[in-house]
Structure 1
Amino acid sequence: MRDSTQPSPPDVAEEEAKSLTDRTERLLAQARYLNLATVSPEGSPWVATLEYAWLGGPPRFLYGSATGSRHSRDIASSPEVGGSLFVGGGAAGLEVAAVDGAQFTGVCSEVAAADLERYHSLFYEAVFPDEAERARWMLPQSSLRAPAVHRLYLIEVRRWWLIDTRTWEQDRIDRRVELPLTAFGR
């Protein structure tokens, strides 16, 4: 019988979630682009590489694009999306320990004109941290509303997976481990 005055052993599931949350935070800090997968009304897949701003808890991505781009047209007809982020090894070659990545599924939509004020600066500050560069490239809010051709888009992440690094070195099988969305609110 365990002595009730002694602390309980750490919860393995909680430790694993903390480790996955830490990896997610590092990945989001290091990855500059996300790959966004969409499907056309005819069923043709498409992947676009986009700069993004990360909005945590609940997990969301914010990006800008033209309404006429293929992925924007796909989202207008079907908001379900998938995506990935990846950080590679060092410049001297593939450093397996330095490689990390995530995959996600979610729902994407244009940022409503009423919400543009809230998201405009968040997006541009994340994509252009240097103030001079931001001033050079930032579109005014009026250029992100109809009838203008640019918009901000918001992806609400529904599921999130990381590369499962626990067994890869032993069997070389590429697996994923899911991080519950509740871990993003910590």
Structure 2
Amino acid sequence: MLHARQLVASNRYLALATVDAEGRPWCSPVYFAADDELECFYWMSATTSRHSRNIVANPEVSLAVFDSTVEPYHGRGVYSTGLAEVVAGDELQGALTVYPGDPSRGGSPITAEEVSDPSPWRLYRARAAAIWVLCPRPPRQPCPRHGRDDDHRARVR
């Protein structure tokens, strides 16, 4: 889990995959923040964005957080599946203690009013049902933990 936390803490964007009512997939990069236990991933989006509309039609999502700065074949990533929803009501203030994350990440603090009616923006949350990491290993070398030399994921929760 430590490896997953480090990857999430050191990256600002996740790739959010959604599906519309007709089953067409859509992937969007979104600035995010996650809680310390990686139970919830938060982002702010317009209600009119395609991924936001898809979440209304189908709340099942998947996401990937990855370090795009590493050398080729040295990939590091966190993957998750879960359900997404708008954060509202009594839960909104608590979520705003997580999002936008530490100021060093560059996100701008937001208020509940900025993500509530009549604003077109909302704070969204994906509750992680499962989390995996891409096992770190040198290219084409066996993973020290699993003995496999292919790209593979280990479930961390």
Per the normalisation by structure 2, the TM-score is 0.83
Question: Which residue is equivalent to 1:114?
Answer: 90
| TM-fit CA distance, 1:147 | 2.6
Identity rate of aligned residues, in percent?
Answer: 29
Distance in 1 (CA, whole Å) between partners of 2:96 and 2:136 is 36
Question: Which residue is equivalent to 1:62?
Answer: 42
Does structure 2 conserve the Cα–Cα contact (< 8 Å) formed by 1:37 and 1:46?
yes
Map 1:26-175 onto structure 2 (within 5 A).
Answer: 26-57=6-37, 59-90=39-70, 94=71, 99-124=75-100, 126=101, 129=103, 137-165=108-136, 168-170=140-142, 173-175=150-152
Does structure 2 conserve the Cα–Cα contact (< 8 Å) formed by 1:82 and 1:103?
yes
Q: Tell me which amino acid in the other structure corresponds to 1:63.
A: W
Aligned-residue CA RMSD (Å): 2.3
| TM-fit CA distance, 1:89 | 4.5
Structure label with greater radius of gyration: 1
- Residues 1:176 and 2:147 aligned together: no
Per the normalisation by structure 1, the TM-score is 0.71
Long gaps (5+) in structure 2:
143-147
Cα 1:152–1:158 shift into 2, 3 Å: same
Does structure 1 conserve the Cα–Cα contact (< 8 Å) formed by 2:17 and 2:28?
yes
Distance in 1 (CA, whole Å) between partners of 2:44 and 2:50 is 13
Distance in 2 (CA, whole Å) between partners of 1:54 and 1:177 is 20
Higher strand content, 1 or 2: 2
Query: Structure 1: which 4+ aligned runs deviate by more than 4 Å?
Result: none
**3-state SS in 2 of match to 1:123:** coil
Long gaps (5+) in structure 1:
1-20, 182-186
Does structure 1 conserve the Cα–Cα contact (< 8 Å) formed by 2:17 and 2:26?
yes
Higher helix content, 1 or 2: 1
